[in-house]
Amino acid sequence: MREMRDTKLGRRRYRRWANDNMLRELAPTLTASEIGNLFAPPPWGDKSVQSPLETVMVSSRDMAIWEPFRNNVDMDLQAKVLHQGVPRKAVGELGMERRQSPAMKAWSGVERNMRAALRRNYASAFLMDLEEKLVPFIEGDDQDLVVSAVSTYDRLLVHGSSQFHGLKSITLQVPVAATGSEMETCILIKKTEKALSNVNLPQFLKKLKEKDIAAAA
């Protein structure tokens, strides 16, 4: 210090040298790993601590336990939360990306309970037969389509498929033609301006199922 005072240094240079010298004397000697961490902090360097989610996903057993919770996440609530955290400029870009996926956009328009029922019956013959009726109906000239649905669960699938294709569906009680006194439950499906025929619901549900299986493997 005394030698530095004897040399001809400006006040600013001397103060900078004094501060650097004091920091070197106060700081302990760093190891090689500590020096490396100074130049490679997370998220750019190696992560020394795993998050709780990463810890769970390492084990296949824990991953299988986590999978039902992941599937039960409400996509509407998730989209709302993500939308709130995205800047305004990025929101427009996100909207453009969603418009490039008509099937996912149609799926988001289906009510939550109907989405759950459709996912459980992605390979049912009733759903495939219904798809073969809806697509020609949308592409044809008819404005109304009547679908017979005996059980409550079948009616739920019909309403969910209608929402996926942008159609309007109403449950009706129709008299049986043979007797006239007995009533039969049917669903009246009406066309709308948003009707889509270029998306296939069973194929879309199959891809979702394959994605879930791959995530759990």
User: To which H or E segment does residue 114 belong?
Assistant: helix 112-120
Mean pLDDT of 116-122: 89
CB contact burial 57-94 (16+ within 10 A = b; e otherwise): eeeeeeeeebeeeeeeeeeeeeeeeeeeeeeeeeeeee
Distance CA 100, CA 164 (A): 16
Distance CA 160, CA 166 (A): 10
pLDDT at 72 over 70: no
DSSP conformation class of 29: P
Peptide linkage before 43 cis (omega within 30 of 0): yes
- 156 neighbors 149 (Cβ within 8 angstroms): no
Q: How confident is the model at residue 53 (pLDDT cuts 50, 70, 90)?
A: confident
pLDDT at 162 over 90: yes
Mean pLDDT of 113-135: 90
Q: What is the pLDDT of residue 216?
A: 60
pLDDT at 25 over 90: no
Q: How confident is the model at residue 96 (pLDDT cuts 50, 70, 90)?
A: very low
Sheet holding 183-190, edge to edge: 144-148, 183-190, 168-175
**Domain extents for the chain?**
2-39, 52-99, 102-216
Q: Which residue has the higher pLDDT, 78 or 152?
A: 152
Distance CA 156, CA 169 (A): 11
Half-sphere exposure of 184 toward its Cβ, with a 13 Å CA cutoff? Answer: 15
Q: In CATH, what is the architecture of 102-216?
A: 2-Layer Sandwich (3.30)
Matching residue, tokens 């870009």:
93
What is the crossing angle of helices 152-164 and 112-120, to 10°?
Answer: 110
User: To which H or E segment does residue 185 belong?
Assistant: strand 183-190
- 71 neighbors 216 (Cβ within 8 angstroms): no
Determine the 3-state secondary structure of 26 from DSSP.
helix
Distance CA 54, CA 126 (A): 40
Determine the 3-state secondary structure of 100 from DSSP.
coil
